[in-house]
A and B are shown apart, each in its own frame.
Chain A
């Protein structure tokens, strides 16, 4: 390579490496490699050389040109990157300010509790059944072994409609409807609203229950205990939960029990009632009590929700105060 070309290349490389911005770099590129650039002119002038030298000179000139082009490209990348970095350094925002459009509502705690209970029973092989909230005397009382004037009726303060129908006082009538509809074996739960004309801190004229019913051959009280204990331990996420069954009385089950769980301080909290389906109930739906037996359990969803979320006053659940509901977003 001629000394001249070498000097020119050397100078160009130096200028490229010190050029301060993309505009200056582009000017340099035009100056050296542009159509009338110094290096370009050099290449054009090769034609004037004698053929013997032309080959060698051409190779050298091309090499120099490629070297320069690489230098330009790499310097351009460098400058672009540092320009981006500088720009980025100036684009600081306050990341602590609240975001946009992230607000979410919440399901009512009773619904969340209901779904939790339902999930358990669906996994345990139960189906969900529904029945009307406006019931007749037969399904709400009579078929459940509560004839007129039975003392148990006094425990159900019933709302009546003008046409003689009533608002169901429990979800147990769904048992009757399901058993009348299809033969055993069956496993169903019936969640829903129930009504009693009673209103104070621990009573609401409307609340929710879930009823579970299993009828099969050879269903025993021990099986009932098993599902109840498993359910309560998974509902409260506590495998060590102490559960106790206390003899009690419901007209539609026999034997009957109230179920208590132990709280942290050793006291007992009543959480549900249950028992073996009374043969009179099986008779009422035309089910052969000598072949089939079953268990039924019923629990108040509000009560379970209050225990789970630490709500003390039942009335809060039906005030629908947003400051209350907002605490249950998930």
Chain B
């Protein structure tokens, strides 16, 4: 909501300093978003009286004007505006004046010297564009300072109102609030009711008294649609962000800005028979002001006449019944529509009007008669006209609601000793009627504070006006409680992230919604789709972190980053399931470029080492060949823990890489953190004082048998003295049988109670060799 400080000053009869005003409002919960000057900076501009207009001798479209600017002699000014005429009073910038940051100098225009400039509203920075000179409404002494005359030294406030403070959607509301906080006297402008000149009324039927508890209508006949809206009113509208359009409409808008009550004016001659307030019927349609036809649904409250809809209640009027240049007779509507009847409707039609904004949040339901009188008064001054009797249809007034407020609850909730008399005084100032009772009060809020409904609302008001800054002395001590376990899965997950960081990975955070086409490369199950995605590239919920990592890789490759090691920990979504996943991606050198070491690109085993490092100290998973659709068929493994697949790793599938347009040496892993067992506790095992013994064997391995199975086969023997198995060489050579490869492994034996003899070790090795030969067809190489 926008307003200007000069308008507020008029209501408070006291000058206010804009910065201080902004501070006061902000600290009262009415956040000031922006302060701006009411006009672009100008100096030296005065009121000029155009005495004589003549044609320019050398230019058809220009005129020579004799302007009285208050000096001894009139000045000659060249002017191109169409609306310049003799006896006009207009802003005039003499030589030496500054207008909107430009200094005015003498200028020769087509052979005639022009000593100054007659200004339009646009040139003065008052409007974006204007058709001609800004002409004043009344004779003003030539030479009068224009800025002062127009009160341009004014500040425009933009308030970001919270939904509960509908009462502040007006100059009245802001002034009322300031009066309470700063102790100013609130002095509304004098107002005189316009007596009825005739008894004519337009019939009103309210079919929905709950949606429209009060509807006032008054006829104004013989209004002058050609009248000019006075400059002061236009200026106030402008400074409040409302465009002047038609004198009648301008008055309606002015009263809305002033009092917070939206009004609507119909062209009476275009209404048929009567006004009905009712919900829309199926098949009805209406053309709204500003163009566009819409079909209101049956939850939309309408203003209709005998023929059909003429307005969407509380939102916008119909084009067919709107006032225009030819309007002679007007019907003014001033109604109270309940917020429940209006809320959400405007939005559902893509509309957002000043009226809907106010009605949705709530209007003071006692305000309608007053606002209507104010509108009639202004209308009579500007457009003239004869006013009829007021037609009013009103449901019975609800009982004013009274709210109990306990003093001890107030003190407990705020945590500060606000004494009884202060609390009572604050609420009284806010317009509440306070009836003391045992332990507190019964409080009846004023009609404009319909947001006050329960005790907490009153406590908040007391705290707000008392000042949040004065509430101190709270405590944050906590009674001892067990809280969460000292070791949680979250801490393990954090450690894993830290471990990846230590291994050179950078953590990234990517969007939880991804491009469906990319996701489909990794997962064919249909993902959850957003109905209102920002873009197709972020339209489905991810089921894997890989699309995000690959996009990040692309971004960085496009920015000369040759070596990329990234990971993300975040949720993936499938059906009703949300799983916390950890995924990583590596590309490029295994180490950053180094002066003393040949560079080497990352391979599967580098990535696997990183994954293995995560499981160090926890149950060790096994790695089984994977058929994941996004991974290289020959270089991919599933990570299996206790028989359950908890993730996978491998090289990005070359065809997928091709389709996604990424370089192909990309390695990826992904683990389901939620599937991991809770972190366990390390168990100490005695360290043997006796030396360990290592026996190396070299074996020929048939195709299809991998290290995992060899190790499993050896461990399966249950040799108590076997401490470890080390694979220390793997190679293939042409001397070997087709498809076989050679592997060298070290068997490490150790006893806790003696030094192992050669004979014992030899027997153990024999057992291993026999088992390998029997179950895996592996034979010993010489």
Contact = CB atoms under 8 A, between A and B. Distances in A.
B484 A128 contact: yes
Contacts of A197: 532-534
Contacts of A69: none
Contacts of A154: 347
B614 to A, nearest CB: 14
Contact of B476 (A108, A205, A230): A230
B26 A255 contact: no
B236 interface: no
Contacts of B501: 104-107, 329
B59 interface: no
Contacts of A133: 512, 571, 573, 578
B475 A226 contact: yes
Interface residues of B, number: 86
Interface string B349-389: 00000000000110000000000000000000000000000
A254 B457 contact: yes
Nearest to B566: A320
Contacts of A149: 340, 343-344
A159 interface: yes
Contact of A245 (B165, B468, B529, B564): B468
B504 interface: yes
Interface in B467-495: 468-469, 471-476, 478-479, 481, 483-484, 488, 490, 494
A241 B463 CA distance: 23
A246 B29 contact: yes
B727 interface: no
Interface string A241-256: 0001111110100111
30 contacts: A97-B595, A104-B502, A105-B565, A106-B507, A107-B501, A108-B506, A115-B494, A150-B163, A150-B343, A152-B163, A161-B529, A193-B512, A195-B512, A205-B538, A206-B511, A206-B512, A220-B414, A220-B415, A223-B476, A245-B468, A247-B29, A247-B463, A247-B468, A248-B162, A255-B463, A255-B468, A318-B511, A320-B556, A321-B556, A326-B506
A249 B163 contact: yes
Interface range on chain A (Cβ under 8 Å from partner): 35 or more
Contacts of B26: 246
B360 A110 contact: no
Contacts of B497: 107, 111
Q: A interface, by DSSP: helix, strand, loop or mixed?
A: mixed
A122 B469 CA distance: 27
Nearest to B345: A149
Contact of B504 (A105, A122, A127): A105
Given A105-B501, A320-B508, A222 B533 contact: no
Shortest 3 CB-CB contacts between residues of A and residues of B: A220-B415, A222-B415, A247-B29
A98 B594 CA distance: 8
Contact of B529 (A98, A162, A199, A320): A162
B412 interface: yes
Interface string A87-107: 000000000011011011111
A245 B472 CA distance: 11
Contacts of A132: 578
B472 A222 contact: yes
B548 to A, nearest CB: 9
A197 B534 CA distance: 6
Interface string B749-767: 0000000000000000000
A273 to B, nearest CB: 11
B530 A160 contact: yes
A108 B509 contact: yes
Contacts of B474: 220-227
Given A105-B504, A197-B534, A255-B459, A323 B561 contact: yes
Contacts of A179: none
Interface string A191-221: 0010101010000011000000000001011
